[in-house]
Amino acid sequence: MGERVGPYEVTELLAAGGMAEIFLGHKDGPGGFEKQLVIKRIAKKLLGDREIEHMFVDEARVQALLDHPNIVQIYDFGEDRGSYFMAMELVRGCTLRWTIDNANAVRRPIPMQHALRIAADVLCGLHYAHERADDDGKALKLIHRDISPVNVLISRAGIAKLCDFGVAKSEIQRVMTRAGIVKGKFRYMSPEQLNAGELDRRADLFAVGTVLWEMLTGRRLFDQQDEDDVVAAIRSGDYPAPSELRPGVPRPIDRILRKALHSNRDRRFRSAREFQLACEEILRMLPSASNSVLVGEYVSAELDGTAGLGVPTRRRQYTPENDSLLASGFEVLDPPVPSSPTTISNPPSADYADEGSDRVAPPPGLTGRVAGAMLMAPAVVFGGLGKAIEGIGSLFSPKRRDPEVRVTRTRMRD
Residues serving a catalytic function are 146
How far, in Å, CA of 311 to CA of 369, rounded? 63
Calculate the alpha carbon distances from 50 to 5, 42, 183 in Å: 20, 11, 18
Residue 48 burial by CB count (10 A; 0-12/13-18/19+): exposed, middle or buried? exposed
Which residues have CB under 8 Å from 186's CB, separation 6+? 194, 227, 230, 231, 234
- Tell me how far apart the alpha carbons of residues 155 and 138 are, in angstroms, rounded to a whole number: 32
**Sign of CA pseudo-dihedral 345, 349, 350, 356:** positive
CB 112 within 8 A of CB 253: yes
d(CA 56, CA 86) in angstroms, rounded, equals 9
Hey, what amino acid is at 373?
Answer: A
Q: Which amino acid is at 385?
A: L
- Asked whether 10 and 25 are in contact (CB, 8 A), the reply is yes
Q: How far is CA 373 from the centre of its chain?
A: 64
Find out whether 259 and 271 touch, Cβ atoms under 8 Å: no
Amino acid residing at 100: I
Query: How far is Cα 337 from Cα 153, in angstroms, rounded to an integer?
Result: 16
- Beta-bridge partner residues of 264: none
Q: Which helix (H) or strand (E) holds 386?
A: helix 385-396
93-95/152-155 β-pairing: antiparallel
Amino acid at 144: H
Concatenate the DSSP letters of all residues of 85-123 into one string: EEEE----EEEHHHHHHHHHHHT-PPPHHHHHHHHHHHH
Rg (C-alpha) for the chain, rounded Å, is 29
C-alpha–C-alpha distance, residues 71 and 125, integer Å? 6
